[in-house]
Chain A
Amino acid sequence: MDAASLATIRLSIELAAATTVILLAFGTPLAWWLARGSAHGLGRLRAPMRALVALPLVLPPSVLGFYLLLALGPNGPIGRVTQALGWGTLAFTFWGLLIGSIIYSLPFVVQPIVQAFEAIGNRPLEVAATLRAGPLDAFWRVALPLARPGLMTGAVMGFAHTLGEFGVVLMIGGNIPGQTRVLSVQIYDHVEALEYGAAHWLAGGMLLFALLALLAVHAVQARWHRKATA
């Protein structure tokens, strides 16, 4: 494999890893609120928030990419802010792709975690409260460990889905080696240039990785199910 392909693979993994870490960090509290937050006050926003989180599942990536391109541009709302901060515009940069990926992969990370939190039920947390665990303590020492399969599923799905991202990157990336040229775009380039051999190597690798990722998710869930029913 040549240096250019390796750089592309490395960049793709960096983007997917950064996206996954950020989504786990702020997606977990978000999922907690969506699953178990109070139904009053701000809680009334939970239903619209759930819809908003799920939106990238049904939106074509071209819609997301198109609006991002306009939003990140010099006259867009995000572009104005980043320019005022002295960062310039973020289209054609790694950071622009990161913003796009976080939005694009949001439901793939948050939804499994929401489901896991919901599956815990009230009982363990009531017991924790009886044993005088504070809410934060109960979250860290009871809820999070119990939701581990959801967190792992979310992490694997978020990573794999970001790696497979194409439409958004195509619209806001600009295909810059080492900065925005990721695997899916590289494969498109190879096909477009009729370099089927090179395309096969990368495309076959992606296929294999996606299959392994889904097998891993399945294995985690199966193990958890056995534990839960044993």
Chain B
Amino acid sequence: MKGRAGFALALIAALLCAVARADTVTVAVAANFAAPAKALAEVLRKTTGHTAQLSFGATGMFTTQIGNGAPFDVFMAADAKNPAKLEAEGFTVPGSRLTYATGRLALWSAQADFVDAQGKVLGSGQFNKLAIANPKFAPYGEAAMQTLGKLGLAGRLTPRLVMGESIGQTYQFVVSGNAQLGFVALSQVMADGALKTGSLWVVPQDLHAPIVQDAVLLRRGADNPAARAWMALLQAPATRDLIRDYGYAGADR
């Protein structure tokens, strides 16, 4: 009897230990980073046993939700502005903000041989619509407008613009063929360092301000070991290589 009770206690203790070691971190992830985030969650599970629960969405909407008590431990934004705002308002763990990736902008078409290596198709006007993310709040949209400005095409192409609410939606417009051209995130059209389909021009980084993507540890995740592990993982050298393979310039550009 005593032995059995002892065994049960030991079992419960062991289970509790396992639970304590394997925590869950909830991460709000900018839509453009969905694919690498899933790969990172797999790395986290294999190396630490922790589970990362990922939510994908628009950065501005996440900021509003976090400000109103959304249950996230970590926020991986598509820009530096929104995490800084949350930091200023006291929603983050001070000093936790870091740049995890620098986004690359790509002019992309779902049709092969449609976009040339210099992006001259933009000036030729031989396309129906140009899809961009809404430049008012989407960093890739802002970079797209800066690029058009630098190329001197902003005024001429404005009537051809259609706007997605996120870079994910912009990609949808182009992949469905409704817009023949679009400025998307390079990470959306790359897999294992190669173009998945269609044709593209990787926009040179001197045509727009860098798309700096910052992550912060939120107050809710301050004492969550899984959240701490996730933040540490973001800074690991192997992670930087992984992120680069998905079409980002890396944090240390």
Contacts and interface: CB of A to CB of B under 8 A. Distances in A.
Interface of A: 69-70, 72-75, 88-89, 91-92, 170-172, 174-176, 185, 188-189, 191-194
Overall SS of chain B's interface: mixed
B149 to A, nearest CB: 19
Contacts of A172: 178
Given A69-B176, A175-B163, 20 more contacts: A69-B172, A73-B178, A91-B173, A92-B162, A171-B172, A172-B178, A174-B162, A174-B163, A174-B173, A175-B162, A175-B165, A176-B161, A176-B162, A185-B165, A189-B136, A191-B61, A192-B134, A193-B60, A193-B137, A194-B60
B163 A75 contact: no
B59 to A, nearest CB: 8
Contacts of B178: 69, 72-74, 89, 91-92, 172
Please classify how large the interface on chain B is, using the bins under 10, 10 to 19, 20 to 34, 35 or more: 20 to 34
A174 B177 CA distance: 13
B176 to A, nearest CB: 5
Contacts of B60: 191-194
Contacts of A91: 173, 176, 178
A92 B129 contact: yes
B169 interface: yes
A189 B177 CA distance: 24
Nearest to A175: B163
In this complex, the member of A70, A89, A185, A192 whose beta carbon has the largest number of chain B beta carbons within 10 angstroms is A192
B58 interface: yes
B126 interface: no
Contacts of B85: 194
A2 to B, nearest CB: 14
For the complex of A and B, list the 9 residue pairs with the smallest distance between their C-beta atoms, beginning with the closest.
A174-B162, A192-B60, A175-B163, A91-B178, A193-B137, A74-B177, A92-B162, A73-B176, A73-B177
Contact of B134 (A69, A73, A189): A189
Nearest to B62: A192
Contacts of A73: 176-178
A157 B164 CA distance: 29
B53 interface: no
B131 interface: yes
A192 B129 contact: no
A73 B176 CA distance: 6
Contact of B164 (A75, A89, A174, A194): A174
B99 interface: no
A170 B176 CA distance: 15
A192 B128 contact: no
A188 B57 CA distance: 13
Contacts of A92: 129, 162, 173, 178-179
Contacts of B61: 191-192
B136 A170 contact: no
A191 B176 contact: no
A174 B174 CA distance: 11
Interface string B152-177: 00000000011111000100110011
